[in-house]
Chains A and B, each alone.
Chain A
Amino acid sequence: MSTRFPIARLALRSIASRRASAALTCCAVALSVLLVLGVQEMRESARQSFASTIAGTDLLVGPRTSGVNLLLYAVFRIGQPSNNVSWQSYERFATAPGVDWSIPLSLGDSYRGHAVVGTTEAYFRHFRYGRDSRLEMTAGQAFGAGTEAVLGAAAARELDHDVGDEIVIAHGLGATSFLKHDRHPVTVAGILAPTGTVADRAVYVSLATLDRVHETATPSFAPAPADDGGHDHGTAAESGEAGEHGGPGEITAFLLGLESRVQVLRLQRTINEYADEPLTAVIPAVALFELWSVIGVAENALLAVGALAVLTGLVGMLVAILGTLNERRREMAILRSVGARPRQVFLLLVSEAGLLAGAGALLGVALKTAVLGALASPIQTRTGILLESVWPGSAEAVVVAVVTAAGLALGALPAWRAYRNSLADGMTIRL
């Protein structure tokens, strides 16, 4: 039976005959879909990237502040610490019963725009990211006791450094710092494999090295000491390293790994109630969750804007179809005269709307794939955010389905009018 005329084919031809306006309508829908998918993609990727920056750490400890703030500056290196943690407190909790490992972190310095992280070799042994991945070295090794540095993958690439190069740490943040001391360069000992997190962009040095930078930073305003003096500093640093049990004065924060998860909450409370120094201990995942709920408002606002843009695009399509309705009354009368039912006239217009919306949505997905494909690598270099799913997936399928369904629903309006018209007009052609 070929009475089941492919109305969709008729709709396609009809759209093809009005290519220019159809193309514009499709573009409006496509751009709005691109907006929605782009926002969605950035949000997913940012979350994924943030969530994978730290793993396996039971407690993050810093000075008294909000958990989100501590997480932001200590882990994601966004913002600056307001206070420090005394070495005594670090030692107190690093050696507390039940603590398996600890990583001290000292932030606040930079090397040519890259954050310098003062830590110990425990960082390379215990730090985890992603789904519990360890840090790997692509070249060289972790720093020992000497004045050595380890570079994150992105830092090494962007700074064009290799193992054996000498670098000079500046005091303070920013790409250029007036407080530089080039008398005590540190040697690049190793380069980390890429992790796709902010860790890639950092320069890691030992706490002792950092202390020495700090000690010599202020005197560097004074006339530069003699070469011998440099060597003196070197030995001082090594003795400082040896005396690390006495420890540097302060660190920014520290990470704790416990022997058993069961102890996390108790230790967290102990730290938060520590009388000798106001401290904050947070469970990273909990702080992340808080962060999402803060950011979620802005994300939802963006998504709402995107949804409104889609609606605007679809309303534009509706206007375009309604505008042609009068001039198409003849077409409807012809269809009726060859046996089309009013229902099929309705179907014709609804499928035109659905086709336009669906094609627009598909075009939007294609645009998004192209745009994000082109931008993925610059975005990763700039922000460390790895775009997770450049290729269309189920989220895109859902968006296409929803937009098409919305197009069909909106198309019912002109279709209903055409249906009424064709019932009233019959085969009478109104010119």
Chain B
Amino acid sequence: MMHDATQNGPPPVLAATRLRFGWQPSAPLLDIPALAIAPGEKVLVRGASGSGKSTLLNLFAGILTPVTGTVSLLGTDLSALRGAERDRFRAEHLGIIFQLFNLLPYLPVLDNVLLPCRFSARRLARARASDGSEEAAAHRLLAELGLPDAAPASAAQLSIGQQQRVAAARALIGNPEIVIADEPTSALDEDSRAAFLALLQEECERVNATLIMVSHERSLEPLFDRVIPMRELTGGTP
């Protein structure tokens, strides 16, 4: 278990080393000499749109592979895994929340929340271990996130704020170690934004999940343990 831990404390859940990525080799979009995120940490990666945030998340989630360097999640070097193994790893250890339209419109809310349990045996087993059944876990998460059973059962009928809460429940079901959120609050108004973030952080703390969120909003900075400006990750380019 080798880590390039750059700080003291427990081994990081995410470690990036000498990571370079770019569509053109001469102009790397991302250039990260070393980055480590500790378990349970709540990290905000802040930067303007178009600064490579989505690419960064795709690298962290193992969808993209770096040109050079490595990304390790929970001590596993993602570039050492084959494509299908990365897909499986992602399903088992990561919960992901998008900016908008997180849900499959043709599935009921409950089925949307249960999707990770369908693709990952580990998430299913952990959901059952914590709540007895995966459905019970989904119901509990939805209720804790402020979506009672009385809310519409069809994903297409939910408001945007409700959709983001369902997405959070889906990211959290089966207790993944890492929750990655890509501008999850940008479509919400000021009040729901704070409420949503509070709920999300609360749920992450409850299961000791690491939260990595990217956003362009400076106002969110005080809510996080740590803020990484995007420009630190792009080799100095804005």
The 8 listed contacts between A and B (C-beta, < 8 Å) are A13-B111, A333-B98, A335-B104, A337-B61, A338-B118, A343-B84, A426-B58, A428-B63
CA distance in complex: A340, B104 (Å): 13
Given A1-B121, A16-B106, A17-B106, does the pair A336, B63 have CB atoms closer than 8 Å? yes
Q: Report chain B residues within 8 Å CB of A299.
A: none
Q: Interface SS of chain B: helix, strand, loop or mixed?
A: helix
Most buried by B among A3, A16, A340: A3
Q: Are B87 and A339 in contact (CB under 8 A)?
A: yes
Given A2-B118, A336-B63, does the pair A428, B54 have CB atoms closer than 8 Å? yes
15 A-B pairs besides A3-B124, A5-B119 with CB distance below 8 A are A2-B121, A3-B121, A13-B104, A16-B106, A17-B105, A334-B102, A337-B96, A338-B96, A338-B118, A338-B119, A341-B83, A341-B84, A427-B96, A428-B63, A431-B100
Q: Are A334 and B98 in contact (CB under 8 A)?
A: yes
CA distance in complex: A337, B57 (Å): 11
* In the complex, A330 has a CB within 8 A of chain B: yes
CA distance in complex: A17, B155 (Å): 12
Given A17-B106, A331-B104, does the pair A339, B63 have CB atoms closer than 8 Å? no
Q: Could you tell me which residues of chain A, from 344 to 360, have a CB within 8 Å of some CB in chain B?
A: 344
* In the complex, B120 has a CB within 8 A of chain A: yes
* In the complex, A293 has a CB within 8 A of chain B: no
* In the complex, B103 has a CB within 8 A of chain A: yes
CA distance in complex: A343, B83 (Å): 11
Given A330-B101, A426-B63, A427-B96, does the pair A339, B116 have CB atoms closer than 8 Å? yes
Q: Are A13 and B106 in contact (CB under 8 A)?
A: yes
**Nearest chain B CB to A130 CB, angstrom units:** 55
Q: Report chain B residues within 8 Å CB of A340.
A: 87, 91, 119
* In the complex, B170 has a CB within 8 A of chain A: yes
Q: Are A13 and B107 in contact (CB under 8 A)?
A: yes
CA distance in complex: A10, B105 (Å): 11
CA distance in complex: A63, B126 (Å): 90
CA distance in complex: A5, B98 (Å): 22
**Nearest chain A CB to B48 CB, angstrom units:** 17
* In the complex, B76 has a CB within 8 A of chain A: no
CA distance in complex: A330, B182 (Å): 14
Given A336-B63, A337-B96, A338-B96, does the pair A427, B121 have CB atoms closer than 8 Å? no
Q: Report chain A residues within 8 Å CB of B115.
A: 334-335, 338
Q: Could you tell me which residues of chain A, from 1 to 46, have a CB within 8 Å of some CB in chain B?
A: 1-3, 5, 10, 13-14, 16-17
**Nearest chain B CB to A398 CB, angstrom units:** 33
* In the complex, A429 has a CB within 8 A of chain B: yes
CA distance in complex: A36, B90 (Å): 48
CA distance in complex: A428, B170 (Å): 18
Q: Are A427 and B57 in contact (CB under 8 A)?
A: yes
Q: Are A338 and B99 in contact (CB under 8 A)?
A: no
Q: Are B87 and A334 in contact (CB under 8 A)?
A: no
Q: Are B116 and A338 in contact (CB under 8 A)?
A: yes
Q: Are B58 and A427 in contact (CB under 8 A)?
A: yes
Residue of A nearest to B91 (CB): A339
Q: Could you tell me which residues of chain A, from 337 to 393, have a CB within 8 Å of some CB in chain B?
A: 337-344
**Nearest chain B CB to A272 CB, angstrom units:** 73
Q: Report chain B residues within 8 Å CB of A344.
A: 119
Most buried by B among A10, A333, A338, A340: A338
Residue of B nearest to A425 (CB): B63
**Nearest chain A CB to B120 CB, angstrom units:** 5
Q: Are B106 and A2 in contact (CB under 8 A)?
A: no
Contact pick for B119, options A3, A16, A429, CB 8 Å: A3
Contact pick for B99, options A16, A343, A429, CB 8 Å: A429
Q: Could you tell me which residues of chain B, from 76 to 102, have a CB within 8 Å of some CB in chain A?
A: 83-84, 87-88, 90-92, 96, 98-102
Residue of B nearest to A1 (CB): B121
CA distance in complex: A397, B170 (Å): 42
**Nearest chain A CB to B29 CB, angstrom units:** 13
Most buried by A among B54, B61, B116, B118: B118
CA distance in complex: A17, B57 (Å): 31
Q: Are A339 and B92 in contact (CB under 8 A)?
A: yes
Residue of B nearest to A5 (CB): B118
**Nearest chain A CB to B180 CB, angstrom units:** 9
Q: Are B63 and A334 in contact (CB under 8 A)?
A: no
CA distance in complex: A84, B99 (Å): 91
CA distance in complex: A340, B117 (Å): 11
CA distance in complex: A5, B124 (Å): 12
Q: Report chain A residues within 8 Å CB of B227.
A: none
